[in-house]
Amino acid sequence: MISELSTKSNIFELDDTKLVEKFVQGSNQLLASTNLRLEVNGGVSQLLMRSGDAIAIMYLQTKPQTVIIKHNAHFSKLVDRVLIDRGFVLIGDANRAGFVEYKYYVTPAGYRISYTDPAILWKKWWPTEKFQNKQRFNMDILVNFKDNWYPVQSINVNAGIFTIKTIAGQLVLKRDSKVLWLAQSNQAPIVREFQADVAESVEPVVTKIDAQPYTRSISADLVQKIQEKQLKVDPDRVMLIVHELEEKLKAQAKLNQETEAKFQELESRAMIAEQRLQIAHKFLDQAGFDRQDLYK
């Protein structure tokens, strides 16, 4: 994260975009543009309208670095775009009423950061896992666990509970929880998710999948139809599929429990047989018999 270390208090006439970029970079200068101004006081940087109304506030000393943006504020879309470009992640509603919160995380080179519900992580992870060499870590997907990034070893889903296993431990999340994760940049783009009340003030960015590399001989109209089809999701159909999968998972879990119970029963019988064999060997030894004679 680049930080401006100068403590000068000069006022520079910048355009609005440049001033927002200075704010996101953590500048502690007193700056102004035609419509905005930047003020820093006691580790808190504020992006204000010329009228003095707050648009965004950055807490310079918090870890991870945190920015909050006011709902429906002018220039909130511009601030959102610059924050995302700089590696900030939209977390949700802030503790301060009327604001949404972003946090900054260092993203390793070659990865893109996401903050979504665990179902989206599972959908991204599963195709990479099916063809993964089991002798190596799957580095396509990393999850944030105890403020560090770890490769995902497995994701189990049971009755809407997601258990994400890493080499450092496991995360247990409900379907409506959120998880911070990384995907290699060459994977398909992710649609950023916003809460309904946030969407009015911050415009969601939807990246269409570029069909060009796969459709060089296909007409432009067909490409457009493919792209539109990719972005259409029927919520009722999705929920029906989710419920069907949950029922299948419950049935599989029950079968696994029954199989495990049978295995434990067989294991118990094997232990009893082993104990009886040891008693028989001990009796033969005490009676002076050679065990090898039993196997001739």
66 has a pLDDT exceeding 80: yes
Residue 248: what pLDDT? Answer: 78
The end-to-end CA distance of the chain, in Å, is 77
Do 120 and 151 lie in one domain? The reply is yes
* Between 219 and 243, residue with greater pLDDT: 243
Is 247 inside any structural domain?
A: yes
Is 217 inside any structural domain?
A: no
Residue 263: what pLDDT? Answer: 73
Is 206 inside any structural domain?
A: no
Do 46 and 124 lie in one domain? The reply is no
Do 93 and 117 lie in one domain? The reply is no
Is 2 inside any structural domain?
A: no
Residues 9-28, mean pLDDT to the nearest whole number: 81
3-state class percentages of the chain: helix first, strand second, coil last, to nearest 5: 35, 25, 35
Is 295 inside any structural domain?
A: no
169 has a pLDDT exceeding 70: yes
Residue 187: what pLDDT? Answer: 57
Q: Is there a cis peptide before residue 151, judged by omega within 30 degrees of 0?
A: no
Q: Which of 53, 71, 104 is the last residue of a domain?
A: 104
237 has a pLDDT exceeding 80: no
Is 175 inside any structural domain?
A: yes
* Report field, pTM of the whole predicted structure over 0.95: no
> How many angstroms separate the CA atoms of 251 and 225, rounded?
38
Q: Which of 104, 127, 147 is the last residue of a domain?
A: 104
Count of structural domains within the chain: 3
Is 139 inside any structural domain?
A: yes
Is 26 inside any structural domain?
A: yes
Please, what is the average pLDDT of the chain?
A: 76
Its domain, for residue 119, covers 111-201
Structure tokens at 129: 């896992």
Do 136 and 96 lie in one domain? The reply is no
Do 127 and 175 lie in one domain? The reply is yes
Nearest to 69 by CA among 83, 50, 52: 83
Residues 78-89, mean pLDDT to the nearest whole number: 90
